[in-house]
Structure 1
Amino acid sequence: MTRPSGGNIMKLENVPTIRDLLDVAPVKHNDRTFIKFIRDEKIIEKKFSEVRSDGLAVCRFLRRNIPERTHIAIISKSTYEYIACMTGILTAGHVAVPIDPDSTASDAAAIINDADATVLIYGEEFSDRLEEVKALCPLLKTAMVISPEKYEKIYEDFSETSEYASLSDINMDPDACCLIIYTSGTTGDKKGVMLSCEALVSNLIFEPYDPIVIRVDTMLSILPLHHIFCFICGYIGPLNVGNCVCLNGEMKDLFKNLLIFKPNQIRVVPLIAQGILARIRGVQAKHPELSPKEAAALVTGGNLDLMLSGGAYLDPALCKAFEPYGILIRQGYGMSEASAKVTLPDPDCPPDSVGRIMSTVDVRIVGGEIQLDTPGMMMGYYKRPEETAEAITEDGWLRTGDIGRVDENRVLYITGRLKNLIILSNGENVSPEGIENRFKANRLVEEVLVYAEKDVIVAEIFPNADFAAQSGITDIKAALEEYTDKLNETALPSHIVAKLIVRDTPLEKTSIGKIKRTHN
């Protein structure tokens, strides 16, 4: 590592590039199937060698048509072409700027402008917003659509036997920025996190013991690839380890695709895990003659035994609820500023933890805050030196903003978020997550958000109507008020919930299912 280190993390040398991973994968993994996806109701399979060839063809196309070190915004659903495009951008030495495909034109334009992107590569589903984006982005010079037909021609015209073959023979600078990824922003403030090529791969390559990742499984990729958690753990990690990645596509197709691809493992946010559990329980209710594992197989395809959760708090009760179905669910911890991975979702760790700290990561607790030293640390926030200085200490540690503790086995526990702390007029600091977690122990609570209003604690709840119906609860508000009173009996005075709001609609969320804290 060339970046100054504040802690005692493992010193890394000869970190491979993404191009290195692509080059060795076909031999290392016996050129088996790497990516599966559905197109025109048929399952398409791509071997490691084909993913390499297609990605490098896009690399040559971009090198032929776009100036060096161009910032390229990419806004598309999680398709195979998206993977080929991202691979091409990163191996060509350009800078990728992924954007949520569900963004409005104004939100997408704000990121394109902030990132100084001059090229936009977009999915066909974004065509209805393209002209508005062009009008809002004066620096944007080129817009290219991602379509299977267009990319098949690129794969052919820029193959390794074409006249452009030498264009992919470049030396990648591992310390150069290759990705500007905008934080999902639960409070609405999106910042561009600059990550180097080395940061993207270092934690994944040099972890000597990862009991979950080293399994060569079939994975169903559910979460959007524009998010760092999914891109690192659902593409770069499997490229190194040899997993087969099945692309889910639309969220509405999740349960259909679980049965088609029959994955061994999936990566989820807690909201998705709750939905899968509810579907399994629904099957059980209709077919009481089935064993728990038989009921689960009718929902998940029969092979699923591992769910890795991230992005939000995972209730230990949810982990317990999956046990009868033979499914282990554990959570890891990471953040965009640390290239997604900080801990391993070790099955031996307590379910109320967020996993075991990776050997390549050093952690310290300062004033209750978790601070990191990691080879995956960001280079900084794009064009935001003041915010970068606030995020990285003078001695080189990344301030996570999370409150927590580490035990003697390097297991990490998260207890709250600094920016979410409620500071009452009497000086008391209240972590809303702690109160929310107590509410989540009740299955009647589907979603909950705790905040302060006029110096009192408010809990806003979206109830689980299905559970209420199954349990014969007719007055949901009264049941929630009774439960709130019960919690208040044992709560600290500063943690008493004085106001309860029962919602008819779900709380507003980010693209990966985090509840937005618009009241903080």
Structure 2
Amino acid sequence: MDKTLVKTLQDLIVQSAACYGEKTFLKEKAGKEDAETTYVQLYDNCRKVSSFLQKSANGKKLHAAVIGLTSAAYLTAYFGTVGGGNVIVPLDAQMGVDDLCDHLQRSDAEVFFFDARYAPMLPAVRKNCPAIHTYVSLQEMPDVLSLAQVLAENEPMEWTPIDPASCAAILYTSGTTGKSKGVMLSHSNLIDNTMCQDNESTPEDVLLTVLPIHHVYCFTCDILLSLRYGTTVCVNDSMMHIAQNLKRYQPTLILLVPMIAETIYKKIQAAAAAKPDIPIQAIANAVFGGKLRGIYSGGAYLNPKLIEGYRALGIPIAQGYGMTECSPRISTANLEDESIGDIGTIVNGCEVKIVDGEIWAKSPSVMMGYYHNPEATAEALTEDGWLRTGDLGYVDEKRHLFLTGRKKNLIILSNGENVSPEELENKFAGLDWLSEVLVYAENSMITAEIFPNTEFCEAYGIDEMKRLLQEQVLEINKTVSSAKQIHCLRIRNVEFDKTTSKKIKREQSQQGAIFQ
């Protein structure tokens, strides 16, 4: 694809259809078989949705929300909306009815595309969101207009050019503190992030998509990049089925978050222990379907030991870094880069500088601002376009980016010392007997609060877990300055509260016995 011809998401759909035609873009389960959508079919169906929306709004531009799992229907609603010059609002598939209504109201949505599983929420949505005049189910269901009907009753619309600087999407963050903010991303934001690197995939590649589609990490790196390179995307229909889907679709590439990567790695290790006569590399190869050439990781800290473990299996795993406000990539993974400890190389066209320890980024991928929230926009963006990421880190001479923590999470002790809790939390990564950890200051003492692995505790007892925890803390304290040493331990009897993206909410009451 000639990337100079692509300035908007509309252009991307048009060019992908022209370049890849009848090639399969998406595979998804339909009973025992796979339903396939070609690049041309996606283009035609998106223009039918655009035609429908134009009629629904009497030719005016509108905001349409969509909620559901990755599917051809979801992507048709998404690209049909933005292709016609409207704004899409992808919503978190895990949110409850109150949050759903809140996001629909705050985004000024007038059309609501929804997965049929959300039908029980419709009465509350109809009551609380009077601005929504059109409801479309992504699957067929009684008494509700379905996407299939929309496609059957509308002809493909002839798209007119879109201003690249216009808003394409409003994505609500799921922050660990405070109310979610609506990140406005323009067409040019998303296209810049899609086109900023080269040679990341090929038409011969097969990608298994497992991450939530409403996250820009999944949407840009799984969907938009695949449209650019002509990759076939296969849908993992459930995390419960990931093992069988790896064998079913035999991906060459996969994007994961560290938690999933670690879970699969542990299963490979367990299988190898049960079958010592089979080389572990052969077991790993079979687990991933036999054709995997690499794993990309993002969204959270990736333990260097896990990187080394996968490389020993013959599987390169590399991580990148970004945020919704940057569409999302600030640094990107490289499967051929054998460095460990960094979070990737800064992408082309992006400037990064460190201001008082904080990472600032400036690029064409940086958001337009927060929807209806000028105060938050002013806090995040400088007048000359720098994005204050809120993350702490540094850059080396090779443009490798390193992350050390979150600015707002910094622990400031009475002696003036600044301590990054993430730096200490990461030192607990990869321990079989520990499930979750949170580090904070309590009475001016650095405290580590953990939720143990319940299976381990059942098998070996809480006393053994305490012994291992104390040993681990002693080892950690040897590696840090006296100001950063952990002096207090707390064990929880319940999991930490989390956001829908599975990040621990840092501001919550302690619920566990304490020992020092």
- TM-score by shorter chain over 0.5: yes
Would you say the 8 A contact 2:174–2:500 is kept in 1? yes
Q: What stretches of structure 2 of length at least 5 have no aligned partner?
A: 510-516
By how many angstroms is 1:220 displaced? 0.6
Higher mean alpha-carbon deviation, 21-30 vs 170-179, is at 21-30
Tell me the residue number matched to 2:257.
Answer: 269
Tell me the residue number matched to 1:7.
Answer: none
Tell me the residue number matched to 1:310.
Answer: 298
Tell me the residue number matched to 1:478.
Answer: 467
Tell me the residue number matched to 2:311.
Answer: 323
The Cα offsets for residues 132-167 of structure 1, whole Å up to 9 and x where unpaired, read as 23323243333322115833333333244xxxxxx3
By how many angstroms is 1:214 displaced? 5.2
Counterpart among 237, 245, 260 of residue 257 in structure 1: 245
Counterpart among 116, 125, 129 of residue 117 in structure 2: 125
By how many angstroms is 1:367 displaced? 1.1
Q: Does the C-alpha gap of structure 1 residues 486 and 177 become closer, same or farther in structure 2, counting only changes over 3 Å?
A: same
Higher mean alpha-carbon deviation, 507-516 vs 476-485, is at 507-516
Higher mean alpha-carbon deviation, 380-389 vs 293-302, is at 293-302
By how many angstroms is 1:181 displaced? 0.3
Would you say the 8 A contact 2:6–2:15 is kept in 1? no
Distance 2:401 2:459 in 1: 37
Question: Larger RCO: Structure 1 or Structure 2 (Cα < 8 Å, ≥ 6 residues apart)?
Answer: 1
Fraction of identical pairs, as percent: 37
AA aligned to 1:337 is E
By how many angstroms is 1:188 displaced? 4.2
Would you say the 8 A contact 1:101–1:126 is kept in 2? no
By how many angstroms is 1:169 displaced? 2.5
AA aligned to 2:393 is G
Would you say the 8 A contact 1:415–1:434 is kept in 2? yes
Higher mean alpha-carbon deviation, 369-378 vs 40-49, is at 40-49
Tell me the residue number matched to 2:49.
Answer: 58
After TM superposition, list the pairs within 5 Å mapping 1:95-134 onto structure 2. Answer: 95-134=87-126
After TM superposition, list the pairs within 5 Å mapping 1:216-231 onto structure 2. Answer: 216-231=204-219
The answer to whether 1:198 aligns with 2:188 is yes
Would you say the 8 A contact 2:7–2:191 is kept in 1? yes
Distance 1:459 1:98 in 2: 36
Would you say the 8 A contact 1:279–1:299 is kept in 2? no
The answer to whether 1:284 aligns with 2:272 is yes
Distance 2:96 2:77 in 1: 22
Tell me the residue number matched to 2:128.
Answer: 136
Counterpart among 183, 204, 219 of residue 173 in structure 2: 183
The answer to whether 1:336 aligns with 2:324 is yes
Q: Does the C-alpha gap of structure 1 residues 307 and 88 become closer, same or farther in structure 2, counting only changes over 3 Å?
A: same
By how many angstroms is 1:29 displaced? 2.9
Distance 2:459 2:220 in 1: 39
- SS state of the match for residue 121, structure 1? strand
The Cα offsets for residues 309-343 of structure 1, whole Å up to 9 and x where unpaired, read as 11111111110111232211111111111111111
The answer to whether 1:376 aligns with 2:365 is yes
The Cα offsets for residues 163-198 of structure 1, whole Å up to 9 and x where unpaired, read as xxxx33322121111100011212243100001111
Would you say the 8 A contact 2:411–2:419 is kept in 1? yes
AA aligned to 2:132 is L
The Cα offsets for residues 14-66 of structure 1, whole Å up to 9 and x where unpaired, read as 65222222222234235321100001221111111111112222121212223
Would you say the 8 A contact 2:137–2:147 is kept in 1? no
Tell me the residue number matched to 1:31.
Answer: 22
Distance 2:138 2:411 in 1: 45
Higher mean alpha-carbon deviation, 477-486 vs 147-156, is at 147-156
Would you say the 8 A contact 2:87–2:168 is kept in 1? yes
The answer to whether 1:386 aligns with 2:375 is yes
The RMSD of aligned alpha carbons is 2.4
Distance 1:273 1:468 in 2: 24
Counterpart among 143, 147, 153 of residue 151 in structure 1: 147
The Cα offsets for residues 340-381 of structure 1, whole Å up to 9 and x where unpaired, read as 111120231522111111111111111111111111111101
- SS state of the match for residue 168, structure 1? coil
AA aligned to 1:181 is L
- SS state of the match for residue 479, structure 1? helix
Q: What stretches of structure 1 of length at least 5 have no aligned partner?
A: 1-11, 161-166
Q: Does the C-alpha gap of structure 1 residues 467 and 306 become closer, same or farther in structure 2, counting only changes over 3 Å?
A: farther
Q: Does the C-alpha gap of structure 1 residues 362 and 489 become closer, same or farther in structure 2, counting only changes over 3 Å?
A: closer
Distance 1:227 1:511 in 2: 11
Tell me the residue number matched to 1:400.
Answer: 389
The answer to whether 1:45 aligns with 2:30 is no
By how many angstroms is 1:83 displaced? 0.8
AA aligned to 1:117 is A
